[in-house]
Amino acid sequence: MSTWLITGCSTGFGRALAIAVLERGDNAIVTAREVSAVTDLVGDHADTALALALDVTDPVQVRAAVERGVERFGGIDVLINNAGYGYRAAVEEGDDADVRTLFDTHFFGTVDLIKAVLPQMRARRSGTIVNFSSIGAKVHPAGSGYYAAVKSAIEGLTGSLRKELEPLGITAMVIEPGGFRTDFAGRSLTQSAEAIDDYADTAGKRRKESDPTHGTQPGDPAKFAQAVLTAVDAEDTPEMLVVGVDAVPAYRAVLEAQLASLEKWSALGEGTGYDS
């Protein structure tokens, strides 16, 4: 039996993962900013579930959640850094305070949780850290530059973290989802207060009032959760798991385009060394 700490369990991916983990008999520390949003998850799992309030931007709450989880279950085997929300704005439109809050939540919240769980993982020489990214980190949609940037930062951090942890018996992976039928494009989506007319045909098309995708995304969160469990359980847990019927072909198209561009400009790039 493994113990999972999952952030952002009130809705979406976090809730789907919490349900899947508990239904298969594992322990789960289920968290949300308001604990009342996750107490129902305990339900018939009083012995294996612990519901806690956790705002990932609050380092005191982060440390307390990890300490409570370790005290209750003896250790944390899997950390799921899922908590977050969407933010859309043309780069010029982005509000500085909004962008800093976005990074505090997605990036620095993830870092604080990693630092909080790693000492007990290192002591046991085992554990898995799963950090959530987005296909947006690869396809870079207009109007999602800041969101793509924070998720790209998480991917870079996780790649290095994995190399640091592998000799210690711990692994780290990134999940890169596509479109799933969660609240991401609805309640969980924020945007800049300002909309500049010159971006109406690019970033403007992704503003909430112009985006009809909420509730029609192709992905099933329950199947997503099972895919994550399979990857975490695998002996060769992937460094990155791209998940979604839309995400896999989109990622493939980006890789093909990048390879074509690399080959086209390789002579110029490689011609920059000192002459013999």
Q: Three-state DSSP class for 36? A: helix
Long-range contacts of 30-39 (CB under 8 A, 24+ apart): 30/6, 31/5, 31/6, 31/7, 31/65, 31/83, 32/8, 34/10, 37/9, 37/10, 37/11, 38/9, 38/10
10 is catalytic: no
- Given a contact cutoff of 8 angstroms between Cβ atoms, the answer to whether 231 and 238 are in contact is yes
Please tell me the distance from the alpha carbon of residue 118 to that of residue 137, in angstroms, as a whole number.
26
Burial class (CB in 10 A: 0-12, 13-18, 19+), 275: exposed
147 is catalytic: yes
Catalytic residue among 138, 151, 199, 251: 151
Per-state percent for the chain, helix, strand, coil, to nearest 5 = 50, 15, 30
Write the CB contacts of 125 (distance below 8 Å, at least 6 apart in sequence). 168, 169, 170
Q: Which amino acid is at 257?
A: A
Write the CB contacts of 20 (distance below 8 Å, at least 6 apart in sequence). 222, 225, 226, 228, 229
- Given a contact cutoff of 8 angstroms between Cβ atoms, the answer to whether 65 and 29 are in contact is yes
Query: Could you say which DSSP state residue 259 is in?
Result: H
Catalytic residue among 147, 192, 199, 251: 147
192 is catalytic: no
Catalytic residue among 133, 134, 144, 192: 133
Q: Which active-site residues does the annotation give?
A: 133, 147, 151
